[in-house]
Amino acid sequence: METNIPDISKYQNELLEISKIVKQFPETLHSKVFDLLYSAKGLNELLNQNSNKKQKTIAPRTSVKTSLSKNPATNKISRKTNKKESYQLDKDINLKGNGGDIPAFIDFLSTKNPPSSPGFTAVSVYYIIHMLGHEYVTYDQIFTCYKEAKWRVPTALRQTLINAKNREGYIDFNDNGNIVLPLRGQNYVEHDLPKK
């Protein structure tokens, strides 16, 4: 009776070397690392050797990037981290009012008394556009309003502004990414604040 067991004696050194390398990686990666090294060393013929030509060849289970090094510490998967948001005070914006028909921002804010960050954002944008006459508002100007009012600046200010747009509809962004006030935001500030 003929057996289909391949002669592995000539591959013994390569297989021992592969096993030593595989042991350096976490157990969950053993099969992937083995398949990678097995292919890289050209050992496919070892598993393909048999006398029955009708039998399918055995291929590696999955492909792994060939950039794995022998040091498992350098093969850790890293998650993308967001850049830390950074804003500056806008020194060109006057939030102190003019002593006449334009009140100081903190006085205007206290009359509107928004209950949340989206409301605060709407009041800030309204003040800068309708009271100060700007066409649009920048992230730095919103940051400056938070600082002027001594409100806690949200950790993710950009996301807070996106939420004010998507969830409440109080603000919007123009084609350049600057903040504008849609009719819904204008009505909110003029008619719904302060909350009764």
Residues of the chain with CATH 1.10.10.10: 105-192
The helix/strand/coil state of 180 is: strand
- Cα-Cα-Cα-Cα dihedral sign, residues 160, 166, 168, 173: positive
Which amino acid is it at 39? S
Amino acid 62: pLDDT: 45
Amino acid 60: pLDDT: 46
Amino acid 27: pLDDT: 73
Q: What is the mean pLDDT of each run of 10 residues along the chain (196 residues)?
A: 58 77 75 73 56 44 47 51 81 94 96 95 97 96 97 93 94 93 96 91
For 68-97, the pLDDT digits (tens) are 455 555 555 445 555 678 999 999 999 999
Assigned CATH class of 105-192: mainly alpha
| 94 HSE (CA, 13 A, CB side) | 9
* 133 touches 148 (CB < 8 A): no
Retrieve residue 74's tokens: 């350098």
Amino acid 15: pLDDT: 75
Retrieve residue 139's tokens: 């992230």
